[in-house]
């Protein structure tokens, strides 16, 4: 059987008891940390609490050539991911492949940034629309390219008066900061002659799940200058606020009063 086990938000202590028991009983343990990462724990920290070797998989070994998957026909395999297992479509694809191979699967859920947002910020969960990822720029034919999809998704959501979750890119051990993400959004907005995004209320979250978590709300132009410290970072751009959401951001995210007042519908 193949077990998809969520590790939670921050470190080795975030896992559920059921997840921990399943890992300890598994024949082999695998993990991927390119879709998310437990910043507060090393692989050695995980192995110490599990009492098992954790085999770290590359993107290719998960998405293109998951040859290790065949072992789940005769053994119990634990596949570990940061956050909750099925937030990423990559994990759903892997589960469907396993089922098509005749392998039984089971998902053991955990907390993720998607489920933690409401508690961290006070934003109402039913008001979120399509999420997106801000990727690092890339080079094509010698030119620097900043993908426009995050900006387009954000503008569509704002037009519908819905909040937007913006995941920030991870490349190996490079983690996009809120400052970089905000700058890329504003750069794209400038290419569309859109000045409105500078004054758009936004929320930055750093190290969710830790005792040193930082939650800060302000206009996007100011957020890109704020020091959020160590990763992981996450960015939210809310639409118009219910008065309870506005009150929550004042208390939980140190939002400026004048900014939240303008954002209330």
Whose tokens are 């995050």? That residue is 150
How far apart are the C-alpha atoms of 205 and 121, rounded to whole Å?
Answer: 9
Q: Which tokens in the block code for residue 88?
A: 């990423």
Check residue 58 and give its pLDDT. Answer: 94
Helices (H), the chain: 17-25, 43-50, 59, 89-100, 113-121, 149-159, 178-191, 220-223, 243-252, 257-263
The SS3 of residue 208 is coil
Inter-CA distances, 174 with 10, 41, 205, Å: 17, 16, 17
User: What pLDDT, in 10s, does the model give residues 158-185?
Assistant: 999 999 999 999 998 899 999 999 999 9
Indicate the average pLDDT of the chain: 96
Close Cβ partners of 72 (under 8 Å, ≥ 6 residues apart) = 1, 2, 98, 103
Q: Which tokens in the block code for residue 53?
A: 């070797």
Residue 50's nearest CA partner among 102, 75, 15 is: 15
230 DSSP assignment: S
Work out the pLDDT band at 103, boundaries 50, 70, 90.
Answer: very high
Inter-CA distances, 255 with 151, 157, 264, 265, Å: 23, 21, 13, 17
Residue 17 clears pLDDT 90, i.e. is over it: yes
User: What pLDDT, in 10s, does the model give residues 243-258?
Assistant: 999 999 999 999 999 9
Residue 166's nearest CA partner among 188, 186, 182, 148 is: 182
Q: Do 147 and 136 touch, CB atoms closer than 8 A?
A: no
How far apart are the C-alpha atoms of 200 and 101, rounded to whole Å?
Answer: 48
User: What pLDDT, in 10s, does the model give residues 182-236?
Assistant: 999 999 999 999 999 999 999 999 999 999 999 999 999 999 999 999 999 999 9
How far apart are the C-alpha atoms of 41 and 47, rounded to whole Å?
Answer: 10
> Pick the residue with more confidence: 141 or 15?
15
Q: What percent of the chain shows pLDDT beyond 90?
A: 96
Domains contained in the chain, CATH given: 2-111 (3.40.1010.10), 114-263 (3.30.950.10)
Check residue 200 and give its pLDDT. Answer: 97
* Centroid of chain to Cα 30: 20
């Amino acid at each position: 059987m193949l077990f998809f086990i969520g590790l939670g938000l921050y470190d080795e202590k975030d896992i559920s008891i059921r997840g921990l028991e399943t890992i300890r009983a598994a024949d082999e343990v695998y993990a991927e940390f390119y879709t998310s990462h437990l910043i507060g724990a090393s692989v050695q920290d995980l192995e110490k609490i599990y009492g098992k070797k954790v085999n770290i998989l590359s993107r290719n070994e998960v998405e293109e050539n998951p040859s290790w998957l065949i072992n789940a026909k005769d053994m119990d395999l634990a596949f570990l991911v940061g956050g909750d297992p099925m937030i990423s479509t990559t994990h759903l694809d892997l589960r469907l492949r396993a089922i098509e191979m005749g392998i039984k699967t089971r998902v053991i859920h955990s907390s993720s940034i998607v489920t933690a947002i409401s508690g961290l910020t006070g934003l109402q969960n039913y008001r979120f629309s399509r999420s997106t990822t801000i990727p690092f720029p890339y080079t094509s034919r010698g030119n620097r390219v900043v993908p426009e999809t995050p900006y387009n998704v954000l503008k569509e959501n704002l037009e519908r008066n819905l909040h937007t979750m913006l995941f920030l890119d991870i490349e190996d051990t490079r983690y996009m900061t809120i400052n970089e993400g905000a700058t890329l959004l504003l750069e794209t907005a400038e290419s569309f002659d859109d000045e409105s995004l500078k004054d758009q209320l936004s929320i930055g979250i750093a190290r969710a799940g830790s005792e040193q978590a930082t939650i800060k709300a302000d206009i996007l132009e100011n957020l890109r200058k704020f020091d959020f410290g160590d990763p992981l970072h996450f960015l939210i751009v809310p639409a118009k606020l219910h008065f309870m959401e506005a009150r929550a951001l004042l208390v939980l995210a140190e939002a400026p009063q004048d900014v939240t007042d303008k954002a209330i519908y």
